[in-house]
Homo-oligomer: A and B are copies of this chain.
Amino acid sequence: MPDQEQTRLMIKVARLYHTHDMRQTDIAKRLHISQSRVSRLLTQAEEVGLVRTVVAVPAHIHAELEEAVEAAYPVSEVHVVDVVSDDESELGHDLAHAMAMLLAEVTFEAATVGFTSWSRTLRTMVDQMQPLRTRTQQVVELLGDLGPPLLQHDAARSTQRLATLAGAEAVFLRLPGVVPSVEIRDLLVSRDVYAREALALLDGIDLALVGIGACEVDPTLRSGDNFFTHEQFAQMRERGAVGEVCLHFIDADGEPIEGELDDLVIGVTRDQLRAAGRRWAVAGGVRKREAVRAAVKGGWVDTLVTDAATAEYLLA
């Protein structure tokens, strides 16, 4: 956290550079510092968010697509993003960016925001986000930890950052997201007062930010690693599952597939999710498109951010 003086300097440099179009060398001379320092100050200014550069993609280039999807599915708002490539990671990046922009413009209030920090797209989004004006009091994690400790760390950081940006308190759910048995789940929950608080908050979510998963082991996770196994996924697919929202499996029509796996998850329940005021989802790409269709068809999300290819798939 840069101090007062540093910040003043950053602003001064940033303005001389960006608004007055001066070269770094000239700024350096003028302020009697080295060019390298100017360069570093500028980098900092970007990091801190003092300098923002936005690429104003003409909004709603895909307006027809959006309207068509909105008409065909029980979803209130669809945003179709013009992605630079269909490569999964870049696609995620673009979707994340778009959703960050969207959230920045939000005007409604949302005292309790639910957040799935294990979705990579959502974490990317948080990294790109600017301060929110949702008057949020708590940001609650919707699911326990998944994957290895490193990922858990990332997830926690992400939740924390979102909370900070929203001017809210971060409420963590620092338990495994998937456990081997109901007994273990109950045991863990009963012994963790923080987790119980978090789970209780999930009853009154105003805005849920969720991802949508294909019915398979996420490529970034490992089978069984605080997560369902390949076998468990296979089993659910046999029973018709094509995707999941917050680890709740749904079939091609978006109908929930109940089963014993539900009891192995520590996180938001189906009912709690359905009861959330707004449910924003971001997902796209070939791998997930079936899941996306199921999720919107079943009304699991009311605002969807996706790519053009997926939107077209939804209409096909």
Contacts and interface: CB of A to CB of B under 8 A. Distances in A.
Nearest to A17: B55
B90 A55 contact: no
Contacts of A15: 55, 57, 84, 94
Contacts of A19: 55, 93-94, 97
A16 interface: yes
B55 A53 contact: no
B20 A93 contact: yes
Interface stretch (A44-52, A110-118, A235-243, A255-263): A44-52
Interface residues of A, number: 25
Contacts of A53: 18, 51-54
A97 B55 CA distance: 20
Nearest to A14: B55
A12 B93 CA distance: 14
Given A84-B20, A97-B19, A11 B57 contact: yes
Report copies per complex.
2
29 contacts: A11-B55, A11-B57, A11-B58, A11-B82, A12-B84, A15-B55, A15-B57, A15-B84, A15-B94, A16-B84, A18-B55, A19-B55, A19-B93, A19-B94, A19-B97, A20-B84, A20-B90, A20-B93, A50-B55, A50-B56, A50-B57, A51-B53, A51-B54, A51-B55, A52-B53, A52-B56, A53-B53, A53-B54, A54-B54
Interface of A: 11-12, 14-16, 18-20, 45, 49-58, 82, 84, 90, 93-94, 97
Given A15-B57, A20-B93, A50-B55, 4 more contacts: A12-B84, A14-B55, A51-B55, A53-B53
